[in-house]
Structure 1
């Protein structure tokens, strides 16, 4: 994945003209449409094109709609809303073609998924579809969770667990309908599932729509503090608890809230922090082997990587075995040169990842033991 970068000079910085895309997800009744209406009624985020499955399911505030033209609604804020009549790529082709012809104007795109949607295939489509990869970039995954019904939904529906695990930002809704203790319990459970995602309460005074954007560090203009926050668990940890470089971020075991078997008990997050720069070929061999044997179980992986002989770190991100091209973080300053890797997935065994980590740190053993280490063989 990174081998070609080590032997080439750094390219000149170019403006990224791809359209930023935000994936808005959340289970049925979580409050996605309420948040979407709030976005569309506010002009502070610029002009937004929203792609929904069907207008009938969107529940848009009709007071915000000025005109309807075919599959496109024009909102009073200047935003747009269109329905998916074909596949996702076709919708983008039509939107971008009309923008290039001067018929439409928008600065970013929000995709509102159905409540039952697993975000993984949508994220992969944005990466593997050649048109989408050239013209769009993922700006972040925003997942809305209902404080009232969220725990029971997480118990019963793995799609809801996946929506939380893949989020860059979690918006907790309906906190006014539960006690403070219940809201805290839900928050703790969400942090257990996804320690690196920020969690905001939509009804809090400090909630601002601008916090929905620029959630990923997969862009060249990302600042150092943004990239570090992107890969740092948002939970308090013992400062001496990660001396090995491996930190299991799960901190609690909440009780089951329904009659269903919990779907998030198999989900965990592992954070790897290494002080030294890495040899690109060794990292590629370790990572490729890990993904080959665990790719189906790894819901999402992201990180900041320092390679030997290159001053600029790289941000990387993937969904299962599909990866964005690594992005050089050209605004990185200071002396912090630690590599940070975060994996979220099913059945991630600490000893298994530890063995593969030992393989990374001791490349002289990689040729003989890489397959066994990634499999977790004794």
Structure 2
């Protein structure tokens, strides 16, 4: 599980609204005999209810479980807690296979994710692996209607665990998944009962690995509205069938303030123009852009430009060359609040070489 190439310990940020099943999942990680050493950082034991049997002497900060896992609280600064965990390293061997940060009550996972990009010491020893959101199939629609935090958690995720599916009908589940995909077209959705999801679908996803952006899910390849080959499906805003039977007038719950906007262009991009546009966009609207990812065909460059952003923090690099018979085209997805799709499309297309 440790990123052997870099020797860095992968960090998974686990989000989800109260009652979504995070506690069940965390208790499993902390007690199951999986042969790994995980460190689970939780906000407040009282709030999440880690089994009291597990937690002996709750006035301490760190609890060692009998399977070698460790549970600790974030009472202060996340950076300090991670640094403390790192001190438990044995020479030449990582202290943990992975670190899981549970963000109960924290609205937007963005600041937690940013910690792993911004602090040099933390960055030297750990690598943000992914953000996983647990949602409760039965109650998520109401949560999304009334909670900005719930919408942000879904929009930010690399993987969504749709939990308690045994409590909802097939029709309800289809409706829930359609709405989740509108909020976040990038994250695969895994169905689960009682948070019983294989740990390899939560850990080791490489959601923040620039290399992995190349295998963004197939929806990413659906050309934009008005372009040849665009498929009107549940991922796009033209879901007439769905609009017809969604409750209430347009502008009701289903028109969430957060959405994913997919952009694509079949002509090569001017690298300088594109970088300037992206920098300006993140500078002006970074607070509202939760996540962005893209693969860009830069004119005169054999390698593809791959980028991702978390709010205003941007990373990008030129990566492996395009294949000789591969379709060279640029595509990007922006997920955020109150995004102006027409302006984004115009800005993106204006970067053509």
Instruction: Identify the residue that residue 350 of structure 2 maps to in structure 1.
Output: 359
- Deviation string 1:90-119 (CA, Å, 9 cap, x unpaired) is 001101112256898311111001145321
Contact 2:155 2:290 in 1 (8 A): yes
Matched, 1:273 2:258: no
Cα shift at 1:52: 0.5
- Deviation string 1:300-324 (CA, Å, 9 cap, x unpaired) is 111223434544434322122122x
Q: Secondary structure at the match of 1:351?
A: helix
Matched, 1:233 2:219: yes
Output aligned runs, 1:324-339, within 5 Å. Answer: 325-327=315-317, 329-330=319-320, 335-339=326-330
Cα shift at 1:29: 0.9
Q: Secondary structure at the match of 1:348?
A: coil
Normalised to the residue count of structure 2, the TM-score between the two structures is: 0.83
Instruction: Identify the residue that residue 136 of structure 2 maps to in structure 1.
Output: 146
**145, 155, 162: which one pairs with 1:155?**
145
How many residue pairs get aligned? The number is 341
Cα shift at 1:279: 3.3
Instruction: Identify the residue that residue 11 of structure 1 maps to in structure 2.
Output: none
Contact 1:45 1:210 in 2 (8 A): no
Instruction: Identify the residue that residue 162 of structure 2 maps to in structure 1.
Output: 172
Matched, 1:345 2:328: no
C-alpha separation in 2, matches of 1:77 and 1:330: 41
Contact 1:25 1:112 in 2 (8 A): yes
Q: Secondary structure at the match of 2:350?
A: helix
| Structure 1: gaps spanning 5 or more residues | 1-13, 364-378
Normalised to the residue count of structure 1, the TM-score between the two structures is: 0.78
**Structure 1 residues 162, 41: closer, same or farther in 2, change over 3 A?**
same
| Structure 2: gaps spanning 5 or more residues | none
Instruction: Identify the residue that residue 243 of structure 1 maps to in structure 2.
Output: 228
Contact 2:9 2:94 in 1 (8 A): no
C-alpha separation in 1, matches of 2:61 and 2:48: 13
Matched, 1:305 2:296: yes
Contact 2:305 2:317 in 1 (8 A): yes
Contact 1:231 1:340 in 2 (8 A): no
C-alpha separation in 1, matches of 2:136 and 2:191: 10
C-alpha separation in 2, matches of 1:246 and 1:129: 42
Contact 2:13 2:103 in 1 (8 A): yes
Instruction: Identify the residue that residue 188 of structure 1 maps to in structure 2.
Output: 178
C-alpha separation in 2, matches of 1:192 and 1:61: 35
Q: Secondary structure at the match of 1:138?
A: strand
Matched, 1:93 2:83: yes
Contact 1:290 1:356 in 2 (8 A): no
- Deviation string 1:53-110 (CA, Å, 9 cap, x unpaired) is 1233332245667998942222233221111132000001101112256898311111
More moved, 177-186 vs 303-312: 303-312
Matched, 1:30 2:20: yes
C-alpha separation in 1, matches of 2:88 and 2:333: 39
More moved, 193-202 vs 63-72: 63-72
Provide the alpha-carbon RMSD of the alignment: 3.6
**Structure 1 residues 154, 120: closer, same or farther in 2, change over 3 A?**
same
